[in-house]
Structure 1
Amino acid sequence: MTKANDPIKNIQSRIDELEQTINERGEQIRKRTRQLKEDLQAELSPMEMLKRHPVEAAGASFVTGIVAGRVIRSLFGRKPRAAAIQPSAESAPQAAHAPQQKQPSQIGVAVGAIGVELLHAAKDLAVTWLKSQVEAKKK
């Protein structure tokens, strides 16, 4: 009778070994995944990017500031030249037909606010980076 049970015990021991191997490999994969996540977070952190690429970060901030400034200026900036000219007494009837200044749209106001916030964020990043550079040189 022991010979009849041997193949079943062999199969059961093999199943147990496979389950143990699967559990070990699963734990190894989880550890590697956690390590990879931590490495990626460290590599892609804003401070690390600023430390590795300060010129590119300054350039990106500069270009963002220029674009945001142009958007803000186009929304809130210069008046049309025709509206800037004072109407004389003779041209009073023409002044009635002159185009009125248009009010900025809600979208324009929102884009302007976003542009200002982008400028503030870029300034804060630059100041933080400069502080870290000064502190690093002091040490």
Structure 2
Amino acid sequence: MLHVLTDISWLSVLLAFIIYFILGSLWFTVFFPKLYKISLGKENDTTQSTDPIFFVGPALCCLVITIASALLVYALHIETYQSAFQFAVIVGVGYLFSNTVNIAINPNIPRPILYGLISGSYHLVGIIIVSLILLVMK
């Protein structure tokens, strides 16, 4: 598996990571801000935290997901758009979406299904984009 690290196009990882992270920023602040706030029970909250963890944390998570996906794309020898899309759907639904919903199901999230749909959909779309970028720039 270590040889895969030298085979990876790190430029594709960087580009996929940047797009995945920017998509998240847009997803929660431009595309679905109201629904996201409702899912958190903060529909009337107009304050936005500037604490660095809310920027650095998601960036690091996106980077780890992108690197792990690159390792798998190369190790599994994914070579076609169809197989990259299938990989993304399996990882997106099987891990990212379902884990997001699972995390949301707790007493601190007032609308866990809505939260899971919004956040899980972001990760599903994001991993599809990541997988296609990794394939195209392989």
Same fold (TM over 0.5): no
Could you state the TM-score of these two structures normalised by the residue count of structure 2? 0.29
Larger helix proportion of the pair: 1
Q: Please say which structure displays the higher CA radius of gyration.
A: 1
Could you state the TM-score of these two structures normalised by the residue count of structure 1? 0.28
The structure whose RCO (Cα within 8 Å, separation 6+) is larger is 2
